[in-house]
Copies of this chain bind each other. A is one copy, B any other.
Amino acid sequence: MPKLVDHEERRARIADAAWRLIAERGIEAATMRAIAEAIGMANGALKHYFPDKNSIIRVAFTHVFDSTNLRVRERLRGRSGMAALRVFCEEIMPVADLTDLEARVVLPFWQRALADPDLKRLYTDSMALWRGQIIDFLRQGREEGTVRTSTPDDVVAEQLLAMLNGLQSLALLDAASGTADVQRRTVEAFLGSLK
C-alpha cells in the first residue's frame, strides 16, 4: 500500500516542520505558507492537514508530546521507580537544546488552548497520561524502598506535574531559574524528599 505509506510519511514531515517553525520562529511565523515552503509542498495541499490555525499548534504539540514520551521509553530500559522518575523529568525539563525548543511549542499551545475545547482536551489527556506514569513510578519506588514519603502518590504526582509545567515557563522566561543546574537541583531535591 504505497499510498498509505506516503500519506503517513507526509504527515510526519508536516508535523516536524510545524513544531520546528513554532519553536524556532514563534507561533505567528508558523503559517501554512511557511510550512509548505519548509517541506516543498503546495500550499493548497496542506489544507487537508490543517483546516484552521489551531490545527497547526495541535499537530506541533502532539509531535512534541509523542517525541518526549518516545525518548522516555527508550531511556527507561531496565529502569523503574525513582530511577525511571528521574529519566522522565530529565526529558521534560527544558535543560537541553531539544527540550528548550519543545517548551517553545508548549507555551503558545497553552495560550491557544484557553479558547479551544479540542486543544484543552488534548492537554487534559496528555496530563492524564503523565499523571498515570508518575503514579506507576512512585508505586515501583515504594516496592523498591526508594519512595517512603507519607504524602499519597496522587498528591505527589500532582506536585511533580505542576512543577514540571511551571519549569516550562520559568526556564524559558526567567534568567535566574533558566539554567539547567537550577532546574535539576529543584527537581532532584523534590525527588530526594520522597525517600
Is B166 within 8 A of A120, CB to CB?
no
List, in ascending order, chain B residues with CB within 8 A of A182's CB. 158
A5 touches B (CB below 8 Å): no
Task: Output the least CB separation between A90 and chain B (Å).
Answer: 15
Proximity string of chain A (119-155) to chain B, C-beta cutoff 8 Å, 1 when within and 0 when not: 0100110011001000000000000000001010001
Is B173 within 8 A of A163, CB to CB?
no
Is B173 within 8 A of A166, CB to CB?
no
Option from B27, B186, B193 in Cβ contact (under 8 Å) with A149: B193
Task: Output the least CB separation between A156 and chain B (Å).
Answer: 8
Number of chain A residues close to chain B: CB under 8 A: 45
Nearest residue, chain B, Cβ from A167: B162
List, in ascending order, chain B residues with CB within 8 A of A175's CB. 120, 124
Is A159 within 8 A of B190, CB to CB?
yes
Proximity string of chain A (37-69) to chain B, C-beta cutoff 8 Å, 1 when within and 0 when not: 000000000000000000000000000000000
Option from B27, B151, B186 in Cβ contact (under 8 Å) with A159: B186
Task: Output the least CB separation between A127 and chain B (Å).
Answer: 5
Task: Output the least CB separation between A91 and chain B (Å).
Answer: 17
- When chains A and B are docked, how far (Å) is the Cα of A8 from the Cα of B65? 46
**Could you list some 7 contacts between A and B, CB below 8 A?**
A124-B174, A124-B175, A155-B185, A155-B189, A156-B189, A166-B168, A193-B193
Besides A124-B174, A155-B185, A158-B186, 6 more A-B contacts (Cβ < 8 Å) are A26-B114, A108-B114, A110-B173, A158-B177, A161-B177, A162-B186
